[in-house]
Amino acid sequence: MGPLAQSVEQQTFNLWVVGSIPTGPTCTNSCKISSKIMQIMIKLGSLLWRLNNYGFFESLKYLFFRTFKFSNQLSSVDLIDSFELLVKELNFETSKDIVKEYEKVFEKVSQIYSDYTLVGNRIKSNLIGLNASETKFKVLAAIIMKYQFDVIIETGTQHGTTSIFMDNWLCQTNQKCKLYSIDVLKYQAPSQIEKINRIILDSPVRKNFMKQTQSLITDTENILFFHDSDHSYENMVFEFDWAWNHLEVKVIIADDVENNSAFYEFVNFEKVHFKLCKFDHGPAVGIAIRT
């Protein structure tokens, strides 16, 4: 990552932590000008970062699909709207134990982050706890319980909420599984993150990502790939194809699949059995399962 891109990414992180860019009636003219300059810098820094780490043609694709909006046909797909219904569809003998165990783990991890922020640490708001969407946590819990993976690869560690949740869920359900979490920056996170095999990618990120993920697996392993990184159309298409056709994973779980058509196109092109879940106010989560 180049110095400019890293600086802008850090500024973006600070905006997530502190809040939105200042706007509104209390904002002075100079404040509004600074706000616009900051927005331009973030967009420019993001593009330069992509050119350096994804490549020229990939950056062109990113700009194209960001400029031209394409309809997402996932809106026509029936949603699974409750944890209990997902558990039922996965053919567990009973949902009671799974739901009860999930509540224990989610409460434990929420408390870890509550304690972490109480002592002055700042993270992006509403990641976990009372106001957070729980869809992705519940989907991960059910799918991990069902398929008993050998390896889990997560993209987008950020503050480690899903990593720490999965680690605690694997312990709670007595599963032996290698858990890896990948990101481009080392964000603030509770000390429990040190239990996770955390990978920070060097530049160029995409080339390093392919090399690192390929080295994590063998041909005989049962793998879950959890996408929660850059949710742009271009990156989602790349990650889904890489995980499915090169890593040959058993299951892909993808957070935030409603903003573009990447997940819908992937499951239709590959003729993959899939489910779409949305249990609360948060984003929909897609599940693609190799049969």
180-209 pLDDT, tens digit per residue, is 999 999 999 999 999 999 999 998 999 999
120 in a domain, yes or no?
Answer: yes
Task: Tokens for 260, please give them.
Answer: 């573009």
In a shared domain, residues 22 and 144: no
66 in a domain, yes or no?
Answer: no
Note down the domain range covering 30. Answer: 3-53
In a shared domain, residues 282 and 195: yes
CATH classification of the domain holding 178:
3.40.50.150
Alpha-carbon span 254 to 136, nearest angstrom? 8
Per-residue pLDDT reduced to its tens digit, 129-186: 878 999 999 999 999 999 999 999 999 999 999 999 999 999 999 999 999 999 999 9
60 in a domain, yes or no?
Answer: no
Using a cut of 0.75, tell me whether the model's pTM lies above it.
yes
In a shared domain, residues 23 and 159: no
In a shared domain, residues 109 and 39: no
In a shared domain, residues 230 and 97: yes
In a shared domain, residues 151 and 110: yes
Say whether the peptide bond before residue 204 is cis (omega within 30 degrees of 0).
Answer: yes
Number of domains observed in the structure of the chain: 2
Quick check: 181 and 199 in contact, CB under 8 A? yes
In a shared domain, residues 28 and 128: no
Alpha-carbon span 113 to 193, nearest angstrom? 11
In a shared domain, residues 136 and 273: yes
Quick check: 82 and 279 in contact, CB under 8 A? yes
